Structure 1
Amino acid sequence: MINAVPRASWRVLALPPVAENRLHEMFDPLGVELHVPATRDNDGVLASLTEVDIVIGDYTGVLGFQADAVAAAANLAFLQVPRVGLDSFDLESLTAAGVPVANTPGVNTRAVAEWALAATFDLSRSVSWADRRMREGGWPQFDTTARGADELGSRRVGILGMGSIGTEVMRLFKALGSSVVYWSRHQRPEGTFVEVDELLTTSDVIIVCLPLTPETQNFLNAERLALMKEGALLVNVARGEIAPDDAVLAALDSGRLRGAALDVYEQEPLSFDHPLRRHENVLLSCHTAGATRQSLERIWSMTVENVRAAVDGRPVANIVNGLGSTIVKRNQQN
């Protein structure tokens, strides 16, 4: 039988870019010993891992957790990821090391879906484009219509990926009267499933909600984007590697795409001189589609509760790598 471990003996390393005093406000009431890396880089992470029992991952993805970090964290008993996506974490190495990993599913579903809707509105009515012309002194009263202004209720929307975000996107667009179809690796009981090629060739708006996996990397390559209905709009709220930047640019320059709204890119932050920054038909966002006050509250509430459960010896929620949900300090396991 495993004896209860005093909370003060649990060392927690927090990697998100959150003010240290705010982190202490959230985690000090748990009675744990909280640490942050001295520098926000891989060397800073590796230097902070000695004797750490629990790691709270970086939701920005800047500080990943790869095999070298797993090897350096000899005492790591639990990794809590304060987001849904796991692509910057080496799950294979963590699982091999016996480290349970949990995420926070569903916390930003509504936020991302609303951003996808807002971005589609913007592209459809050239809202940001007209704002730029107005600030330059122009009056583009008729130009916005000439650019292809559309009411979304008359458009066909194709969703790639029907997880929780895709499902919420479908619900929002259907409420506007849009015709909605989807493709996903697994068919759902709700919605209208079509094959990828049909979705690409018939949709006026395509919204990317797929997780990044080896199968979805470069999913919307140049060949697939060339299948899109001429004048279509692309909205990517997933990962930049799914729709490579160069392929999107080529589709825009060819006229195949009338516009693109991008919250994600192959390399983040997007470089200062990247051609996407200068393209008139692109709406740019900085990987913030899921960041609302409400979603952040949900993320931290779920994260704090899971750390509380871990140090209390209760099962944690949302383990993603098939290991046990009751967390045991390494020096208590034998």
Structure 2
Amino acid sequence: MSDMPWHLLVLAPFDDDRVRHLFGVLDAELHVPADRDRRGLHTALAEAELVVADFTATLAIDAAAVAAAPHLAFVQMPGVGVDSCDVDALSAAGVPLANTAGANTRSVAEWTLAAALDLSRGITWADRRMRAGEWPQLEAAARGADELSQRRVGIVGMGAIGREAARLFEAVGCSVAYWSRRRRTTGVFKELDALLATSDILIVCLPLTPQTRGLLDAQRLALLPDGALLVNVARGGIAPDDAILEALNSGKLAGAALDVFDQEPPSADHALRRHDAVVLSPHAAGATRRAQLNIITAAVDNVKAAIEGRPVTNVVNDVDPVVRRRR
């Protein structure tokens, strides 16, 4: 049995040719689900040993999916966030779950800076009006566009992305402080409420967990200075859509740049799609060519390590990183 090729199930939404191109170099038997629904997922998991998870969360590895996979030995998320996986269920089954931490750090951090510049200068706002045939020169000046230099930036979440974002904002002359669940040895730390009260621009880049869900609710966002800007590259559930809309409509927020939402995609008639002070992005802050190459390379290398009996890297659930067959 140990000489048999590993059964590798790719749930990420790649077509068959791309799956073979990316993972055909591995000594594994490649599979994709016949149907991209819950039944198709559970059917495909029945024989799966190694799984490349679905970064869109359409085929989530929840507790029922783990139970449907008796041979499951390793799950690789081709991305950083693992909130579409039931970490506890995988841990209880002894299945290591890995992400590709660091692969898109620069990409996402640069997006936060670009988004803050856009909001601060009203670039997208002006573009919409120009395309509609307007010439809003005086109106653009009256809206109060400003430079980023000297603005107070608060970063919620000081992991790799938060630290890189801090360096970028400091480089353009911003003063930067942060709040994180784990206090760092460098940087200006503030308790969360104090950070909100002193942030002209709030950057959200921490993982979605049961502890962070709803962290930035309407009451918390109301602590921001009037006319603050919000940039969210984390998960929508941390700063819920309704809370952001309330802050925008009250004038507490002058603008928001959102790469993530409560539900993705948001409905076609979602109020955020119609709000004039919002810059929208389809969860693509990390989708540069370099970041995507980094992510795929890290995922393939980790699956290769699992097949060869070497420890996998970036395990997020404290399970032994040496992957063992369960047949």
Q: Give the TM-score normalised by the residue count of structure 1.
A: 0.95
The 5 A counterparts of 1:46-195 are 46-195=42-191
Q: Which residue of 2 aligns with 1:327?
A: 323
TM-superposed CA distance for 1:154, in Å, is 2.1
What letter is aligned with 2:273? R
Shift in Å, 1:19: 2.1
The CA deviation at 1:68 is 1.0
In structure 1, the gaps of 5 or more residues are none
Residue equivalent to 2:6: 10
SS of the equivalent of 2:230 reads strand
- The alignment covers a number of residue pairs equal to 327
Q: Identity over aligned residues, as a percent?
A: 57
1-structure distance, mates of 2:36, 2:265: 15
Partner of 2:15: 19
d(CA) in 2 for partners of 1:267, 1:101: 24
- Which residue in 2 is equivalent to 1:266? 262
Pairwise CA distance, 1:9: 2.0
Give the CA RMSD over aligned residues.
1.2
Give the distance between the partners of 1:159 and 1:323, measured in 2 at CA: 30
After superposition, what is the alpha-carbon deviation per residue over 1:127-186, rounded to whole angstroms, capped at 9, x for unaligned? 011001001111111211211211001211111111111000100000001111111112
Structure 2 match to 1:247: 243
Q: Separation in 2 of the partners of 1:183 and 1:195?
A: 6
Tell me the amino acid that sits aligned with residue 182 of structure 2.
Answer: H
Q: How far does residue 40 in structure 1 lie from its aligned partner after superposition?
A: 1.7
Determine the C-alpha separation between the residues in 2 that align with 1:190 and 1:103: 26
Q: CA deviation at 1:312?
A: 1.1
Residues 274-301 of structure 1: CA distance to partner in whole angstroms, max 9, x if unpaired? 1111000000111111111111111111
Q: Amino acid of the residue matched to residue 318 of structure 2? A: G
TM-score by length of 2: 0.97
SS at match of 2:137: coil
1:278 aligns with 2:279: no
Q: CA deviation at 1:120?
A: 0.5
Q: Deviations over 1:168-208 (max 9, x none)?
A: 01000000011111111122122111122221112110011
What is the identity, as a one-letter code, of the residue corresponding to 1:78?
F
Give the aligned partner of residue 39 of structure 2.
Answer: 43
Distance 2:251 2:25 in 1: 56
Q: Distance in 1 between matches of 2:26 and 2:179?
A: 43
State the Cα distance separating 1:101 from its structure 2 match.
Answer: 1.3
Kindly report structure 1 stretches of 4+ aligned residues shifted beyond 4 Å.
Answer: none
> 2: distance between equivalents of 1:18 and 1:64?
16
Instruction: Give per-residue Cα distances to partners, 1:215-251, cap 9 Å, x unaligned.
Output: 2111111111111100000111101011111111011
Distance in 2 of aligned mates of 1:285 and 1:274: 14
Tell me if the contact between 2:229 and 2:253 (Cα under 8 Å) persists in the aligned partners. yes
State the alpha-carbon separation in 1 of the partners of residues 319 and 190 from structure 2: 35
Partner of residue 217, structure 1? 213
Distance of 1:213 and 1:11 partners within structure 2: 30
1:129 match: secondary structure = helix
Contact 2:312-2:322 within 8 A present in 1 as well: yes
SS in 1 for 2:193: helix
Q: Could you tell me how far 1:210 is from its partner in structure 2?
A: 1.6
Asked if 1 retains the 8 angstrom alpha-carbon contact of 2:27 and 2:307, the reply is: no
Cα distance in 1, alignment partners of residues 321 and 211 from structure 2: 28
2:206 maps to a residue whose letter is: L
Alpha-carbon distance between aligned partners in 2 of 1:116 and 1:262, rounded to the nearest angstrom: 10
| In structure 1, distance between residues paired with 2:151 and 2:275 | 24
Question: Any unmatched runs of 5+ in structure 2?
Answer: none
Whole-angstrom distance in 2 between the partners of 1:327 and 1:197: 42
